[in-house]
Amino acid sequence: MFTSDMHSHLDADNGIGGAAKLKTAIDKIRAEYPGSFLFDGGDFSMGTAYQTIATREASELRVMGAIGYDATTLGNHEFDYGATGLAKILQAAKNSGDKTPAILLSNINWNKTLASKSLKNDATVLKKAFADYGVEEDYTIIEKNGVRIAVFGVDGHESIEDAPASGVKWTDYVTKAKKVVKEIKKDGKADMIVCLSHSGVYLSAGDKAEDIILAKEVPDIDVIISGHAHTSLSEPIVEGHTYIVSPGCYAQKLGHIVLKKSGSRYKMVSYKLVELDSKVKGDSSINKLLAGFRSKADSEYFSKFGLEWEQKLVYNPYKYPDASNINIGRGEEPFGDLLTDSYIYALRHSGNSKYENVQVAIAPAGGIRGTFNKGYVTASDCYNVESLGTGSDGISGFPLVNMYLTGKELKAVAEVDSSVADIMPIARLNCSGLCYSYSTHRMFLNRTVDHQIDNADGTRENLHDDKLYSCVTDMYTCRMISATLEYSKGLISIVPKDSEDNKVTDFNKEVVTSGGKEVKAWYALASYVGSFKDGKIPAYYSRTHDRKVDVTNWNPWTIFKEPNKFGLVADATVALVILVIVLIVWKVRRRTRRNGR
């Protein structure tokens, strides 16, 4: 049995998924298959308010232990709190005395990590926590009913890129997998080899998907439990004799594959993704455990903000896309409008006059980890929307950051949304204050036009390239700026600045504060929705407002107007082609006339 990318989704969401239903489904399968193994593909944490107590309670690992997981790996989000934060989580799990799953991760390069002066101190703390918990850095053999499975874990390239706060250096996942599998084969004690791979299978990537590459390069792996991509595979991908399985995310499905020995390898007997829907009753012991953790989150975290986990803040009468489906296309999202407007609201109500002139808010899709269901919205629902990271204050939740960008750079921001996000979906943007139109018939990196600023009084004015505009985003965006710009191959330039037009070199110095405390992105949202006078999200947020307008057509004016440097090159190329054609036609007609004489 297998799961992946649960992201702290331990409660049912709208009657779907959750740890209690998961336990019920697992127990049912174990009753029929007593020798079943239970594995997880990583990113078991970071995504809901349970993570707020992870460094003290290790809530996710202890729930996984209570469910009966045999092993998991560490995904990129397990490193969200940095090396020392992960060390605290592992230490808390160990100190609890509760049963917890084995953790396997093979491709951290400790030699290079500990040789780095900037990483050594924190990495030493993490290395000790690994040893105390018993994190296996090669492989382990788990035996049930006479069947011995060798299990190891790796993180792939994209996962590593998505863990900028990990504080460690890495070895290539395929190279390390080859070495580990060779050792397993040499040892000769395992009947089967399973890799917990937080590398992923994006179906759009075809054969270039990282776990398909892993299966091809290391063919002796029998099963790859694929995490990171959140892909739900209704049937395994079969590469040679290797089965690649992936159950989706957020503990909404439980994967189950039955294998039978066939010669020296295994053949699949059956495969199923069990839907954890309203028909599945939650296990009472897990529900009791979760209630205890929610109570601790109230006293240890939400009380700092004068809130409680289940405190109702506002009623939502609308159906928004869930986190997996928001920002799928280029268009404006009403929920994205709500979120970014909350950033503006937070700065203007911070009590700090230096934020009063804020004009633009930006929130990328990659930082949105949840949305609102129809019905009452609680404090924990708001937290779940912006649940990533921690601030320099050591308190869970990324803070807001105030920076300045020129009008020209804001136009580049629009191009990130309309061009770069096509190949890097987490860069799809939601904006408040910045408005523009886009056409997919225009050149890559020159798809947007009619860039305007939406003023507080409802009027709009054109962007001025050289003017500085006050902007707000969250620390997630700041950390991902460099990675996003890499996808533009250096063609886009965005340099965050302070109010004096100096380049920002430390985003922590630009964190938004109110009363001496960091303003968390999630709390900005909670404060904003809590301010609605009639206790209901306004109808304004049920529709779009021309913040992003699709003007795709074949009208030459739409295609060629407002060219930036890339558009000018394209226009010049087109003009040159037209000129060549005109010259050719002129010469042909001239020659025809001469021949006619």
pLDDT digits 0-9 by tens, 323-344:
888 888 889 999 999 999 999 9
Angle, helices 59-67/82-96, rounded to nearest 10 degrees: 40
Residues 448 and 407 sit within 8 Å (Cβ to Cβ): no
Q: State the residue for tokens 């750079």.
A: 409
Q: Residue 97 region, left (φ>0) first, then alpha (ψ -120 to 50), else beta?
A: left
Query: φ and ψ at 560, to 5 degrees?
Result: -105, -10
Sequence ranges of the domains in the chain: 2-275, 306-550, 568-596
Tokens for 381, please give them: 């629902």
Backbone angles phi, psi at 38, to 5 degrees: -130, 115
Average pLDDT, the chain: 92
Say whether pLDDT at 453 is over 90.
yes
Question: Which pLDDT belongs to residue 597?
Answer: 47
The helix-helix angle for 521-529 and 334-348 (nearest 10°) equals 100
| pLDDT surpasses 90 at 427 | no
CA distances from 114 to 77, 125, 161, 166 (A): 22, 11, 19, 13
pLDDT at 271 over 70: yes
- Over residues 421-434, mean pLDDT: 89
Strands (E), 80-221: 102-103, 140-144, 147-155, 192-198
Residue labelled with tokens 């809530």: 59
Average pLDDT over residues 118-144: 97
d(CA 55, CA 457): 45
CA distance 38 to 60: 15
Q: Higher confidence at residue 416 or residue 116?
A: 116
Q: Is 432 helix (H, G, I), strand (E, B) or coil?
A: strand
579 pLDDT exceeds 60? no
- Please write the tens of the pLDDT for every residue from 289-301: 999 999 999 999 9
Average pLDDT over residues 160-188: 96
| Residue 8 DSSP code | T
CATH H-level, domain 306-550: superfamily = 5'-Nucleotidase, C-terminal domain (3.90.780.10)
Q: Quick check: 589 pLDDT over 90?
A: no
Prediction pTM value:
0.89
pLDDT of 217-246, one tens digit each? 999 999 999 999 999 999 999 999 999 999
Q: Which residues pair with 260 in a beta bridge?
A: 267
Distance CA 177, CA 468 (A): 49
Interval 371-384 mean pLDDT: 97
Give me the pLDDT at residue 490, please: 66
Nearest to 50 by CA among 247, 309, 373, 227: 309
CA atoms of 27 and 1, how far apart (whole Å): 11
**Helix/strand/coil percent split, the chain, to 5:** 40, 20, 40
275 forms beta bridges with 253
CATH 3.40.50.2000, domain 2-275, yes or no: no
Instruction: Decide: helix, strand or coil at residue 452.
Output: strand
Question: Is the Cβ–Cβ distance between 519 and 399 less than 8 Å?
Answer: yes
For residues 49 and 65, what is the distance between their CA atoms, to the nearest angstrom?
19
Hey, what's the torsion of the CAs at 432, 530, 356, 493, to 10 degrees?
-30
Q: What are phi and psi of 557, to 5 degrees?
A: -65, -45
